[in-house]
Copies of this chain bind each other. A is one copy, B any other.
Amino acid sequence: MVCKTEVRQPVREEISLPKVLHALSDPVRMEIVLKIARAGEVACGAFDIPMPKSTLSHHFRVLRESGVVASRREGNELMNFLRSDDLEARFPGVLETIIAAGNR
């Protein structure tokens, strides 16, 4: 058996629109995405969302499994970034306009 703790992030071609939209349909996850969009890369711990770590981790998992976010270990922490290129290639304009709309 391999990769017990590896999160399965879809490759570009596997990213599905319904899953992306579902991932973005949660206010907490939308906040996460907006913050990443503003900052470029954000560690999981950088969100002062009043919520247990496990719950936050769940939301990151949904974002990763949907293909919206990818993560990369940087020493002790996980840096999260948007998969803008993949999303733009697959669903042009979708993430962009949603982020713009989310910023009011």
Interface residues of A (CB under 8 A from B): 17-19, 21-22, 24-27, 30, 90-94, 96-98, 100-102
By Cβ-Cβ distance, the 6 closest A-B pairs, closest first, are A91-B101, A93-B97, A22-B25, A21-B25, A94-B97, A21-B21
Per the bound structure, the CA–CA distance linking A56 and B96 in Å amounts to 31
For the residues of A in contact with B, the DSSP-based class is: helix
Given contacts A18-B26, A92-B101, 18 further A-B contacts (CB under 8 A): A17-B98, A17-B101, A17-B102, A18-B27, A21-B22, A22-B22, A90-B101, A91-B97, A91-B98, A91-B101, A92-B100, A93-B97, A93-B100, A93-B101, A94-B94, A94-B101, A96-B97, A97-B97
CB distance from A87 to the nearest CB of B (A): 10
Per the bound structure, the CA–CA distance linking A50 and B19 in Å amounts to 22
**Are B94 and A98 within 8 A (Cβ)?**
yes
How many identical subunits does the complex contain? 2
Closest to A20 in B: B25
